Amino acid sequence: MTFRRARPGDGATLFAVTGAAVAGLAAAHYPATTIRDWMAGRTVAEYEALIGRHWLVVAEPGVLTRLFVRPDAAGQGLGARLLEIGVAFAAADGQGPVTLGATLNARGFYERHGFRFVRNGTYRHALDSPEIAIAHMALSAERAARRAGAMAGVLAQLGPACPSPAKAGSPEPRGHDPRPAAGPTRSPRRQRPTP
Ligand SMILES: CC(C)(COP(=O)(O)OP(=O)(O)OC[C@H]1O[C@@H](n2cnc3c(N)ncnc32)[C@H](O)[C@@H]1OP(=O)(O)O)[C@@H](O)C(=O)NCCC(=O)NCCS
């Protein structure tokens, strides 16, 4: 199995994977209307724009977001692998715990991988989107740092995610793919979960 960053043109696929994962894997934990309207307010163009701004993420410093696996690919270890990579990216700045807002169906998955339940909460993607119940969860700074250390080689293979502000305007390193990235990317720490 190989992993790569998302590229321009992947927005439709990522949009479809998210919708399929929710409909196929989360339906038993939410009202039918919530599942039906889950993608309201989200568009392929929005995903493309996020890729273009390097902000389509499964991970950013301190926060893990948008981890979805297609139902026909679930249960084969893919989610666990993506989570490893995401945690490593999110913890790469070494500044603290990694948090996320888990869909209710995924709470057990994250607990299995060292996250602890913090509190219940809700998330709304846009004003006209349904309110989605989530579980706020956290991986301790120590565990996160250990994971990041163990995954350093994989992160190096995936390459830099986006130019750091300090280096903006400087030439790209040799061999760097200048196309915008998705998948694990980095931006300043934030606290808003994004299921
Ligand atoms: C949650 C999700 C990402 C897991 O991905 P996956 O590829 O099916 O998971 P894996 O096959 O890598 O499972 C890894 C381990 O976690 C366990 N696991 C997977 N889903 C689980 C769940 N919902 N609850 C408890 N344990 C779970 C597996 O049994 C496996 O255990 P093992 O290591 O003992 O074999 C996937 O089911 C999904 O996309 N769900 C719908 C969208 C979603 O909820 N995303 C999370 C948003 S916060």
- What pLDDT does 121 receive? 97
190 falls within a domain:
no
* Ligand 1 lined by 130 (C-beta under 6 Å): no
pLDDT band, residue 50 (cuts 50/70/90): confident
The answer to whether residue 193 sits within a structural domain is no
pLDDT tens track for 7-18? 889 999 999 999
Rg (CA), the chain: 16
Q: Which atom of ligand 1 is nearest to the CA of 81?
A: 12
Q: State residue 2's pLDDT score.
A: 81
Give me ligand 1 centre to Cα 40, in Å. Answer: 24
Print the domain residue range for 20: 11-167
Which pLDDT score, from 0 to 100, does residue 118 have?
97
Closest ligand 1 atom to 193 CA: 48
pLDDT at 35: 95
Q: What is the mean pLDDT of the chain?
A: 79
What is the C-alpha separation between 145 and 10, in angstroms, rounded?
30
Q: What is the pLDDT of residue 174?
A: 29
What's the CATH number where 31 sits?
A: 3.40.630.30
Q: What band does 58 get if pLDDT is binned at 50, 70 and 90?
A: low
Q: Specify the 3-state DSSP secondary structure of 115.
A: coil
Classify residue 90: in a domain, yes or no: yes
Q: How far apart are CA 30 and CA 17, in angstroms?
A: 18
Average the pLDDT over 49-75 and give the result: 78
Distance 147 CA to ligand 1 centre (A): 18
pLDDT confidence tier of residue 111, bands split at 50, 70 and 90: very high
User: What are 142-168's pLDDT values in tens digits?
Assistant: 999 998 888 888 878 776 654 433 333
Residue 22 is assigned to a structural domain of this protein = yes
Whether 175 is in a domain gets the answer no
Ligand 1 pocket member 132 (CB < 6 A): no
Residue 159 is encoded by which pair of tokens? 């390459």
Number of structural domains the chain divides into: 1
User: Cα of 75 to ligand 1 centre, how many Å?
Assistant: 6
3-state secondary structure of 121: strand
Given this model, what pLDDT does residue 168 score? 33
Does the residue 146 lie in any domain?
Answer: yes
Cβ of 26 closer than 6 Å to ligand 1, yes or no, is: yes
From 53, 74, 78, 57, select the one nearest 66 (Cα to Cα): 57
Cα separation, 184 vs 60, in Å, equals 7
Task: State pTM to two decimals.
Answer: 0.82
| 112 domain-assigned | yes
Residue 183, domain member (yes or no):
no
